[in-house]
A and B are shown apart, each in its own frame.
Chain A
Amino acid sequence: MHVPILKQSDYLIASIQSVLSDVDLLQLRDDLSERVGQYRSRGVIIDVTVLDVIDSFATRTLRAIAHMLRLRGAETVIVGIQPEVAFMMVQLGLMLEGIGTALDLEEGLAYLDRKTKRNLHGAK
């Protein structure tokens, strides 16, 4: 399932719409890396609200995405990790070290505004 990527000023928003296979996740990684260059984006939000499973492969891939995008000059924030998924990740010891996380899209935008020292989204 293809993940749509929206551009909003300096940021990209990848809004996952349904469960993703491993190949879909790798495709998202490649798409984001390309778009960050194309749009000269400073920040990326990955919305995982609909994911009911974030297993070891997904964790590894999300980490890889965030680190790759940082090398490309953009900050990544993962938003919408569900409480059950957070519980499971803690049980499994799956960590997203060095990656921003936020409750939802709004908090994710605020996080990126702080990280990129900008104020383009009407935050006070």
Chain B
Amino acid sequence: MAPNETRVPLTSEADIVTARQKGRSLAVELGFQGADLTLIATAISEVSRNIVEYAQRGEIVLRPANHGNRRGLSIVARDDGPGIPDVAQAMQYGYSSRRGLGVGLPGAKLLMDDFDIVSKVGVGTTITMKKWVRSHAG
């Protein structure tokens, strides 16, 4: 039986740890192994920190994903914060509007299989990303 959806509210930096731990345990239930678990937890960490730093509050929604015969994990990171004026710039590796490494969002995209970002100034930002379980042939 597929595990249900998990919601993690983000209101402080401590919630970043909760979000990545919940993501990791759901990923284990869904059949992810080894390095993929670390990649997923790290991607969740990066998008969660983005919310806490720029929007102060938001949420992470974790749920199983299916596409054809592929199974995986869907992660939605949502906030009602200030929005990102220039998404293309924010997605450039090495660009940071603050003192960061500029790795956060582009990094999360690198680690996941699918990554989609919708942001509107004054409305908020929604990031939807997915990782698919590798088929273990032999």
Closest residue to B108 on the A side, CB-wise?
A92
CB pair A53–B20 under 8 Å, yes or no, is yes
B39 touches A94 (CB 8 A): no
With A22-B49, A87-B38, A92-B42: A60-B110 Cβ-Cβ less than 8 Å: no
Q: Is A94's CB under 8 angstroms from B111's CB?
A: no
Cβ-based interface call for A106 (8 A)? no
Known: A84-B37, A92-B103. A22 touches B16 (CB 8 A): yes
Check A52 against B103 for contact (C-beta < 8 Å): no
Question: With a CB–CB cut-off of 8 A, which chain B residues contact A98?
Answer: none
Interface of A is mostly: helix
Q: What's the tally of chain B residues with a CB closer than 8 Å to chain A? A: 25
CB neighbours of B35 from chain A (8 A): 83-84, 87-88
From A22, A54, A82, A92, residue with most partner B Cβ within 10 Å: A92
Q: Which residues of A contact B21 (CB under 8 A)?
A: 19
Residues of A63-85 at the interface with B, using a CB-CB cut-off of 8 Å, are 82-85
Whether B14 pairs with A53 at a CB distance below 8 angstroms is no
CA distance A85 to B17 in the complex (A): 16
- Interface size grouping (class) on chain A: 20 to 34
A21 at the interface (CB under 8 A from B): yes
Within the complex, which residue of A52, A56, A91 is in contact with B101, where a contact is CB–CB below 8 Å?
A56
1/0 per residue B27-56: CB within 8 Å of A? 000000011011101100110010000000
Q: Are A23 and B14 in contact (CB under 8 A)?
A: yes
Find chain B residues with CB under 8 A from A93 CB.
93, 103, 107
Interface residues of A in 19-62 (CB under 8 A from B): 19-23, 52-57, 59-60
Q: Closest approach, in angstroms, between the C-beta of A80 and any C-beta of chain B?
A: 14
Instruction: Please name all residues of chain A whose beta carbon is closer than 8 Å to the beta carbon of B24 when the two chains form the complex.
Output: 52
Whether the pair A52, B38 counts as a contact (CB closer than 8 A) is yes
Q: Is the CB of A53 within 8 A of B49?
A: no
Q: Which residues of A contact B110 (CB under 8 A)?
A: 91-92
Residues in A whose Cβ lies below 8 Å from that of B39: 88, 91
Chain A interface residues toward B at CB < 8 A:
19-23, 52-57, 59-60, 82-85, 87-88, 91-94
A to B CB contacts below 8 Å, 5 in the list: A21-B13, A53-B45, A55-B42, A60-B101, A94-B101
